[in-house]
Structure 1
């Protein structure tokens, strides 16, 4: 099942499998049968039509090294925390 996360900052969107962080990214999720390619294409198209830029989950796992107001419990922030928040 595809899940769409919309950023709290700007028009970014993330399309991923239902279990965040359990897979290495979109390709891995498809290979494991957790994310159907046809569903992914439909969701990406709909997100783009709504004005969102869809980014890959694996990019959001990269370290965020710029200044920002992230919660104090975030020790090594990633782009996920910057644009989508933390759990």
Structure 2
């Protein structure tokens, strides 16, 4: 894989606004990219990119085709 950050956890400062909003929704349960896009007003393609980035860094898990669940909220890690 490329990218030096692949697999490394993100910090709160690394998150885009779309990622923060997706994480808020994920705290309440599993989501799909179309659901996040509909709720936030971001484009579906952009939301997919943001979820893929969260997946790459280990913060979400794809539990089924297109269905994501929260593994680790990077915003909680910064609270220490």
Q: Could you say which structure has the larger radius of gyration?
A: 1
Structure richer in helix, relative to its length: 2
Question: Higher relative contact order by CA 8 Å / sep ≥ 6: 1 or 2?
Answer: 2
Q: TM-score, normalised by structure 2?
A: 0.31
